[in-house]
Chains A and B, each alone.
Chain A
């Protein structure tokens, strides 16, 4: 799986909601203009739940969570990349913020 991003993430978000905790994702926020999937989309599976407004993608082979996207796709819509798939030097020193997606829907720092 390969995703191109235009810039290193400024911060990463670790969320404790039921899906993010399981995926252990460190989310880096981009728009579709700033980040794009290079790999053919059929290498990945999409998962929707709850309000079904976003799709979580993972690799069909190894299961790694790659990114999530708004279902409604336009150049300014969200394309949020899992930094655990990025090389170490891309995220070295980048601050990780904890988001309480499980209850208060606020950052904990």
Chain B
């Protein structure tokens, strides 16, 4: 049973502090969906991601130039990596002038131990339209920092 409480703010970021984010969600950490995408990028980074379409997400680049926006495959997604410490903190995409994102919960030490077991996900067969539609429904709206 999913528990809805007043929205809480979770601050996370890379190891060296150059890239941060604020993730707001009313979901309790034990109810967060944790996805282990099986694509080559996510497997190499051991990415464990979450999102809440009813929440909000803001990324901040505290050290100018530290944010590496890496694109591959369909090239519709920015994978956000710190150039200094190498941490993968999350990803964003634009769809119809709106931004959506996910966070890598490995960059959220305050709640990491409370999270449920990750579910392996395979999106390889998705087309561009299908992928954009899924993320529009499932990813977190991105707001200004």
Which A residues fall within an 8 A CB radius of B?
18-19, 21-26, 45, 47, 49, 56-58, 60-65, 84-85
Contact of A63 among B48, B70, B106, B112 (CB under 8 A): B70
Q: Is the CB–CB distance between B15 and A22 below 8 Å?
A: yes
A60 CA to B84 CA, complexed, in Å: 9
Count of B interface residues, CB-CB < 8 Å: 26
Q: Is the CB–CB distance between A45 and B84 below 8 Å?
A: yes
Which B residues fall within an 8 A CB radius of A?
14-16, 41, 43-48, 68, 70, 72, 79, 81-88, 106-107, 109, 112
A63 CA to B83 CA, complexed, in Å: 7
A57 CA to B109 CA, complexed, in Å: 22
Known: A19-B15, A47-B16. A24 touches B106 (CB 8 A): yes
Looking across the interface, which residue of chain A has its beta carbon closest to that of B70?
Answer: A62
Q: Is the CB–CB distance between B45 and A64 below 8 Å?
A: yes
Contact of A61 among B14, B16, B70, B85 (CB under 8 A): B70
Known: A23-B86, A47-B86, A56-B85. A62 touches B41 (CB 8 A): yes
Q: Is the CB–CB distance between B68 and A84 below 8 Å?
A: no
Q: Is the CB–CB distance between B86 and A56 below 8 Å?
A: yes
Contact of A18 among B15, B47, B79 (CB under 8 A): B15
A32 CA to B68 CA, complexed, in Å: 29
